[in-house]
Amino acid sequence: NGSKLKEGRFRLAIREKFFTMRLVRHWNRLAREAVDASSLKVFKARLNGALSNLV
């Protein structure tokens, strides 16, 4: 996708467990169509479509 977030490196392994740190990997894996949605409603619909393909 065109809005990738940067994954940081930390001294303490506990930081990797934080929700905000775990979220980065998932966000970066999202399809560009979902991330570049024009509204929240469209984003949710595209996200549901992308997640349903994983199951």
What is the DSSP code (8-state) at residue 13? Answer: G
Whether 21 is in a domain gets the answer yes
Distance CA 48, CA 43 (A): 8
pTM above 0.85, yes or no: no
Domain that holds residue 41: 13-54
| Contact criterion met (CB below 8 Å) for 51 and 34 | no
Residue 5 lies in a domain: no
Rounded Cα gap, residues 55 and 46, in angstroms: 15
Q: Report the number of distinct structural domains present in the chain.
A: 1
Question: Is 4 part of a structural domain of the chain?
Answer: no
Q: Please indicate, yes or no, if residue 17 is contained in any of the structural domains.
A: yes
Q: pLDDT of 8-24, one tens digit each? A: 665 666 666 666 777 77
Whole-angstrom distance, CA of residue 34 vs CA of residue 47: 6
Query: Would you say residue 1 lies in a domain?
Result: no
Q: At residue 47, does pLDDT exceed 70?
A: yes
